[in-house]
Amino acid sequence: MSTRSPTILSVDPTNPQPDAIAEAARVLAAGGLVAFPTETVYGLGARALDRTAVARVFQAKQRPRAHPLILHLSHPEQARAYARAWSAEAERLAEAFWPGPLTLVVDRTGAVPDTVTGGGATVALRVPAHPIARALVAAVGEPIAAPSANRYQTVTATTAAHVLKSLGADVDLILDGGACPGGIESTVIDVRAARARLLRPGGVDLAALRRVAADIDVEAPAPVLETDAVRPSPGMDAKHYAPRARVVLAGTRRDAEREALARRTEGAVTALVTRGEPAEDVVTAGLALHVLPDEPRGYGRALFATLHACDDAGADVIVVEAPPADEAWLAVRDRLRRAGS
């Protein structure tokens, strides 16, 4: 681990400067780690075929080796080299959503190093849509293994500043392309069986998936498993995405307001996150107020940045007005539930 600070290059998110991409590709080729924006969140990338570099990703994140990484590809056709079987359902989903925020879990070929998959027989594949991510994977000419660019079990990074705060000198280069447009990680789907199975709700919502997939197995809510032994996707850890502050979910806006006021009265530095303007007594009570959009995309885009902001402001408690129960809010609810557990 070096004590130097990472190099940060500012990059145009729509039209990335070729010299910045070439520099990042050089760092990756030399076995370094590069954080880069995707359409979902920032990734912490290493050359996937470089075992030593991939091992450094786990070390930098302080993530257990058994938690597999996603392979980021430049083109859907590349998937065939890493997937032992490619079902009709996989083909339909890739065709509809790649490039984009969908990750497909398939049986892997021998071309995928054990370090990437944690020794497992499957691999997660995704073709990102963000121009910086696409340019970088294309420049490297090989897949990039990248988890989200935050330390294990802490809040996901959606800006370069979040990456720097979380990983510091453990990343060699950060491509700063501004805030990620999606703000929530990709949807992860297991497409090994005839019936596709949702492993993690994310950037592609269920309504969109259902328009394409023949059938999707959604255990609602997605199971939160407590042990290492039987977890179908390691991201299903109960504790995940957790800020330093305690997150408390409250049923209605008024419940959330009352809870926040009570915490404030007890002397806790309290943040309140709602989906609409709070009542007058709350506005004047000295709480940190965060009013997020009342629709799932806008809310998802702002969620992790809001949790980071609450932590940065020294909040002890973050009281959140629970999101609606309907399916469109599944990914948001999932992240909030884990942040609070």
Please identify, using beta-carbon distances, which residue of 83 and 123 lies nearer to ligand TXA: 123
- Please, which residue, 67 or 275, has the CB nearer to Mg ion? 67
Q: Which of 124, 173, 209, 319: binder of ligand TXA (CB under 6 A)?
A: 124
132 binds ligand TXA, rule: CB under 6 A: no
- Interface stretch with ligand TXA, choices 9-17, 84-92, 228-236, 317-325 (CB under 6 A): 228-236
Smallest gap from Cβ 264 to Mg ion, in A, equals: 31
CB atoms within 10 A of CB 340: 17
Give kind and range of the element (H or E) at residue 42.
Answer: strand 42-47
Asked whether the beta carbons of 213 and 93 are under 8 A apart, the reply is yes
Percentages helix, strand, coil for the chain (3-state, rounded to 5) are 35, 20, 45
Give the whole-angstrom CA distance, residue 34 versus residue 57. 10
| Shortest distance, position 70 Cβ to ligand TXA, whole Å | 5
- Asked if omega into 221 is within 30° of 0 (cis), the reply is yes
Using rule CB under 6 A, residue 40 touches ligand TXA? yes
Residue 123 binds ligand TXA, judged by CB under 6 A:
yes
Query: Among all chains, which residue has been given the structure tokens 């009281």?
Result: 319
CA atoms within 13 A on the CB side of 337: 18
* Contact predicate 144/71, CB 8 Å: yes
One of 185, 205, 321, 334 touching ligand TXA (CB under 6 A): 185
If you ran DSSP here, which 8-state letter would residue 302 be given? H
Instruction: Figure out which of the listed residues 103, 115, 154, 158 binds ligand TXA, where binding follows CB under 6 A.
Output: 103
Q: Which does 69 bind (CB under 5 to 8 A by kind): ligand TXA, Mg ion, none?
A: ligand TXA
Q: How far is the CB of 184 from Mg ion (least distance, A)?
A: 11
Rounded to the nearest whole angstrom, what is the least distance from the CB of residue 88 to ligand TXA in the complex?
Answer: 20
- How many Å apart are CA 153 and CA 127, to the nearest integer? 24
**Residue in the shown chain whose Cβ atom is closest to ligand TXA:** 235
Q: Which residues of 226-244 are buried (b: 16+ CB within 10 A; e: fewer)?
A: eeeeebebbbbbeebbbbe
The SS3 call for residue 200 is strand
Of residues 143 through 172, those in contact with Mg ion by CB under 5 A are 148
What are the residues binding Mg ion (CB under 5 A)?
Answer: 148
Residues at the site binding ligand TXA, with contacts judged by CB under 6 A:
38, 40-41, 43, 67-70, 101, 103, 105, 117, 120, 122-124, 126, 146-148, 185-186, 188, 199-200, 233-235
